[in-house]
């Protein structure tokens, strides 16, 4: 049929041959930079990027300097404040003294012997004879062995100096003494009298004291503290402050430990008298002073 043939030809002429069709062209991809190349380009890319980088670097440097300086300052302040209170305390120091009168209950004395001889043995024999008699008589008076203590024993050569012969040995001196604690004060007279009876020629002064001294010290301390607290209460009212706490405390004893009894050799029977005088122990004071520092507000 003539019409159909014409249509078919026209269709075939409008479609290009398969070989003549071309593939659409894609734009080429830009080359990708590596990370270090990217940072290098950022650093060297432009003046604005450089300014930002150096600004951030300067800020970081200032911060590090400020941080290190703060640490150094804090350490210096801590060093200078070591051992010091965190704040200045307001304090007031008060003291009080109290005295307790006591009757001595023991007496102390020292009795000894000094003897001489041409030889050491001769001087020792004379000395030992007297001292043995002394300790035996003390025991008869009721003095316990633990209350008798040898406190001195010496041997000295005795020389004589002459212009013709110089130094010459004439003999030896032996000295010995025993300390005696007398617990029964009524026997003090008899103990002193023994020195003359046995031939002892060296007696120290008689001293009276208290055996249990701590008891009286505690009593004096209590009274002294009572005075301190009375002062503190009075001052807190008059000054308008409040006692908060105790900051420090100190104390010391302000009286001597012994009362001495003067003696004379003649009175003790060492120079002519036949008996010792009547010895009175009397009384003695135990005194304590305390210092208390209070914190006030």
**Any bridge partners for residue 286, and if so which?**
100
297 residues of the chain, pLDDT tens digit each? 444 444 444 444 444 444 444 445 555 555 555 555 555 555 455 677 777 878 888 888 888 888 888 888 777 766 665 655 555 578 999 999 999 998 898 999 999 999 999 999 999 999 999 999 999 999 999 999 999 999 999 999 999 988 887 888 999 999 999 999 999 998 999 999 999 999 999 998 788 988 888 999 999 999 999 999 999 999 999 989 999 999 999 999 976 544 444 444 444 444 444 555 566 777 889 999 999 999 998
- Confirm if 119 and 169 have CB atoms less than 8 A apart: no
Which tokens is 17 given?
């041959």
DSSP 88-144: PPPEEEEEEEEEEEE---EEEEEEEEEEEESSHHHHHHHHHHHHHHHHHHHHHTT--
Which tokens is 209 given?
């004291």
Please give the Cα distance from 84 to 287 (Å, whole number): 35
Task: Considering the domain delimited by 106-209, tell me its CATH architecture.
Answer: 2-Layer Sandwich (3.30)
Report the 10 Å Cβ neighbour count for 172: 19
In the chain, list all ranges with CATH 3.30.70.2970: 106-209
Q: Pairing between strand 259-261 and 206-209?
A: antiparallel
pLDDT at residue number 204: 86
Q: What is the Cα 142 distance to its own chain's centre?
A: 44
Q: What is the pTM of this model?
A: 0.54
pLDDT at residue number 56: 85
């Amino acid at each position: 049929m003539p019409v159909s043939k014409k249509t078919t030809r026209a269709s075939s002429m409008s479609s290009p041959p398969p070989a003549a069709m071309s593939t659409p062209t894609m734009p080429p991809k830009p080359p990708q930079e590596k990370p270090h190349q990217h940072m290098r380009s950022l650093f060297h890319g432009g003046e604005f990027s450089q300014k930002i980088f150096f600004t951030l670097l300067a800020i970081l440097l200032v911060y590090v300097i400020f941080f290190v300086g703060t640490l150094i300052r804090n350490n210096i302040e801590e060093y200078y404040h070591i051992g010091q209170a965190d704040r200045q305390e307001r304090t007031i120091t008060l003291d009080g003294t109290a005295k307790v009168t006591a009757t001595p209950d023991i007496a102390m004395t020292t009795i000894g012997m000094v003897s001489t001889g041409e030889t050491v043995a001769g001087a020792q024999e004379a000395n030992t004879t007297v001292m043995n008699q002394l300790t035996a008589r003390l025991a008869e008076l009721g003095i316990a062995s633990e209350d008798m203590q040898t406190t001195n024993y010496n041997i000295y050569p005795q020389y004589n100096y002459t212009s013709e012969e110089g130094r010459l040995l004439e003999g030896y001196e032996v000295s010995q003494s025993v300390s005696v604690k007398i617990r029964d004060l009524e026997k003090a007279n008899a103990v002193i009298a023994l020195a003359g009876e046995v031939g002892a020629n060296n007696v120290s002064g008689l001293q009276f004291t208290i055996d249990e001294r701590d008891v009286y010290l505690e009593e004096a301390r209590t009274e002294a503290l009572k005075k301190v607290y009375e002062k503190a209460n009075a001052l807190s009212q008059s000054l308008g402050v409040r006692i908060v706490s105790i900051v420090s405390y100190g104390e010391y004893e302000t009286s001597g430990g012994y009362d001495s009894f003067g003696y004379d050799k003649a009175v003790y029977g060492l120079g002519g008298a036949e008996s010792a005088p009547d010895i009175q122990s009397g009384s003695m004071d135990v005194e304590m002073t305390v210092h208390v520092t209070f914190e006030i507000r």
